[in-house]
Homo-oligomer: A and B are copies of this chain.
C-alpha cells in the first residue's frame, strides 16, 4: 500500500480532469482536504453539491495559500497566467503540477516565473471523455490509464516522486518521459487524429451536391469515428497553437500516406490497395 497522504490539495479548474483526480484521491484515502478553485460560481456550486471537492472558492490566492499540492487543470493557454497569479501565494515547499495536453509550451510559460522554494512537476494524464464540467467528473476516470510526467532539469526528484505516487493512487500507470518526446508522441496519437476528424466532418458537411444533409445517412462507423470531432473547440485551438511544430510534421506525414492511398485508388491498383488496408488492420489489431 502506498504511504502517500496529501493534507491539502488545491484543484484549479474543477472539470472532468481536475474533478476526477479529486474524486479518485478521496476514494483512495490519499488526501485530507480538496479545495476547488474556479471562475464560474455555478460550476463550483455543482462541484460542491456533488461532493467532487470539499470546499470551493473563486479566490485563487486564498485557495492555494496553504495547499501542499496545487493541480492546474485549466485549458493549456491559461496554465501560464494562472500559475503566475498563484505563485506569490504558494507556501514554501508547495508542489505545483498540471494536466496540460502539451508540455514544452506549458514549461516555457511557467518555469521563468517559478519561485526557488516551489516545485513544478509538468504532467499529462492520458484520459478523458467528450464531456466537460464538474458534472462529468468520476472517480474511476484514471483507472488503468497512463499518466505521463515530463520533468525538466529543474524538477526536484522528491516532488516528482510525490506526483508519481499521486497519479498511482488515482489508478494510473505513470510513465516518465522526455518533454520533446511527449509532445511528438501526443501529436501523433492524439492531436493528429483530432485534426483528421475535424477536417473529415467539415469536408463531408460541406458536400452539398444534393442539397440535403447527407450526414443523416451516416451509420455507426462514421458516428463513432467523428465523436471526437465534437470536442471542445477552445481546448483544441490551444493544443494546435502550442504544439504547432510537432503537429504540422505529423499532419505532413498523414498527408503523404493519404496521397499515396488516393493515387492507388485513382489508378485502381488492387494489390497495393489490399496491402495498404491489410497493414493498417494488422497494426491496429496489435494494440487491442
What is the interface of chain A, defined by CB distance below 8 A to chain B? 126-129, 145-146, 181, 184-186, 188-190, 192-207, 209-210, 213-234, 236-237, 240-241, 244, 247-248, 250-259, 261-262, 264-266, 268, 270, 273-274, 276-281, 283-288
Contact = CB atoms under 8 A, between A and B. Distances in A.
Contact of A188 (B214, B225, B281): B214
B193 A200 contact: yes
Given A207-B253, A231-B281, A270-B241, A217 B248 contact: no
A199 B220 CA distance: 20
A40 to B, nearest CB: 20
Contacts of A240: 264-265, 273
Contact of A202 (B234, B276, B287): B276
B237 A209 contact: no
A219 B280 contact: no
Contact of A281 (B229, B250, B252): B229
A241 B267 CA distance: 9
A193 B221 contact: yes
Contacts of A266: 244, 248
Contact of A215 (B213, B218, B283): B283
A274 B188 contact: no
Given A193-B225, A259-B255, A281 B230 contact: yes
